[in-house]
């Protein structure tokens, strides 16, 4: 029987070279990739919406082309664009250190970029690199933006399909006594089955069908936010130009903890920037939700590649 030598690398964040061990179609749009790798027992699992970067190989650029040292980003940026292996952002869905496995759930959408191209043709045995925290990361969890106050009466979790894996982990990890609402917009009605149940949450999930992107999110949030936060006082909200700037507001203390100790409502809103912008305006300006109790992450933009 072969044994794997324990890793001597104690960096808090690093690249893991992993192979696809299994691919499972969960619903029409969600595909689960189970990755395995000799050192995945070192993969950190801070939980909730833990984001990671995945480097995808292409016909032109093999994974070995990716700089993976501590200055990887500086080195990567210094190269001509055609020589930069592409990476995209995903969410850790599950970690099983004992069997050295990690699950990442990816939306199979039209092939438009390096991630969707890889998802479309990936097979067992294919390799990617995952940049993730390790078990040596201490203190504030790296890449986690769900930071609710210690006490909240209600939670509001809102997102499109790209946020669904994070919402799923959040629902699984919250105490069973937590209460709130999930509003999810997915490509197909059958994708609503993706979310795990939670006894304290009402889920408003809808397929987009022929409808406009964001319609469902905006309509349902507008119908419920005032009830969840009845005493809010409208506040100013500066507009963000989502075609040029990133809409990413995650209130925290300097040490990375929740900005408030308690709040009637904590909202976590993630997905395509157009929807997040509309919801931010509504929640802060119209409903008067305290900005320190809302995480807004408009992290992808229709018609724009990540990082462009
Ligand atoms: C913090 C964070 C966590 C994320 N977690 C996940 C996750 O767990 N699972 C997941 O599937 N995605 C997740 N995403 C979204 C994922 O990073 C993007 O969908 C990614 O850009 C797709 O890469 P690509 O190479 O296919 O397209 P890109 O090269 O980035 O873009 C090319 C084109 O495809 C469009 N496009 C990108 N994504 C989609 C989409 N989903 N549907 C339709 N059109 C799209 C773009 O608007 C652009 O026009 C996350 C994003 C962030 C920032």
- Give per-residue pLDDT as tens, 61-70: 999 999 999 9
* pLDDT computed for residue 230 by the predictor: 67
What's the chain's average pLDDT? 90
* Residue 119 banded pLDDT, cuts 50, 70, 90: very high
Predicted confidence (pLDDT) at residue 155 exceeds the cutoff of 80: yes
CA distance 138 to 206: 38
The CA 26 to ligand 1 mean position distance, Å, reads: 18
The residue contributing the CA closest to ligand 1 atom 5 is: 90
The CA 88 to ligand 1 mean position distance, Å, reads: 7
pLDDT 10s digits, 33-53: 999 999 999 999 988 999 999
Q: Is 58 in the pocket of ligand 1 (CB under 6 A)?
A: no
As beta bridge partners, residue 207 has 186
CA distance 111 to 127: 19
Q: Is 157 in the pocket of ligand 1 (CB under 6 A)?
A: no
The secondary structure of 159-189 as a DSSP string is: EEGGGHHHHHHHHHHS-TT--EEEEEEESSG
CA distance 85 to 62: 8
Atom of ligand 1 at shortest range from CA of 93: 8
Q: Is 149 in the pocket of ligand 1 (CB under 6 A)?
A: no
For the chain, list the domains and their CATH numbers.
13-137 (2.40.30.10), 151-300 (3.40.50.80)
The Cβ of residue 212 has, within 10 Å, a number of other Cβ atoms equal to 8
Pairing type for strands 262-272 and 247-249 reads unpaired
pLDDT 10s digits, 237-260: 777 777 777 788 888 888 888 888
Tokens representing 15?
A: 């690249």
CA distance 266 to 170: 13
Asked if residue 169 lies in contact with residue 47, where contact means CB atoms within 8 angstroms, the answer is: yes
- Mean pLDDT to the nearest integer, 283-294: 86
As beta bridge partners, residue 52 has 90
């Amino acid at each position: 029987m072969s044994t794997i030598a324990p890793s001597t690398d104690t960096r808090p964040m690093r690249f893991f070279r992993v192979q696809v061990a299994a691919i499972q179609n969960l619903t029409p749009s969600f595909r689960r990739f189970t990755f395995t790798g000799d050192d995945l027992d070192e993969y950190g699992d801070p939980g909730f919406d833990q984001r990671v970067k995945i480097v995808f190989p292409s016909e032109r650029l093999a994974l070995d082309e990716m700089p993976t040292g501590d200055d990887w980003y500086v080195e990567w940026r210094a190269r001509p664009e055609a020589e930069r292996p592409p990476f995209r952002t995903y969410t850790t869905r599950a970690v099983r250190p004992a069997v050295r496995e990690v699950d990442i759930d990816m939306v199979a959408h039209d092939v438009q970029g390096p991630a969707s191209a890889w998802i479309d043709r990936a097979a067992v045995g294919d390799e990617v690199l995952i940049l993730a925290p390790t078990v040596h990361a201490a203190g504030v969890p790296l890449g986690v933006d769900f930071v609710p106050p210690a006490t909240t009466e209600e939670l509001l979790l809102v997102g499109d399909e790209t946020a669904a894996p994070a919402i799923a982990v959040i629902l699984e990890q919250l105490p069973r006594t937590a209460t709130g609402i999930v509003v999810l917009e997915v490509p197909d009605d059958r994708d609503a089955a993706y979310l795990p149940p939670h006894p304290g949450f009402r889920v408003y999930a809808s397929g987009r069908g022929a409808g406009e992107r964001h319609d469902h999110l905006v309509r349902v949030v507008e119908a419920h936010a005032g009830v969840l936060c009845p005493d809010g006082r409208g506040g100013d909200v500066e507009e963000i130009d989502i075609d040029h700037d990133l809409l990413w507001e995650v209130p925290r203390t300097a040490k990375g903890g929740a900005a408030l100790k308690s709040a009637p409502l904590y909202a976590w809103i993630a997905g395509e920037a157009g929807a997040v912008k509309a919801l931010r305006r509504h929640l802060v300006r119209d409903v008067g939700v305290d900005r320190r109790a809302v995480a807004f992450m408009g992290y992808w933009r229709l018609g724009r590649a990540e990082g462009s």
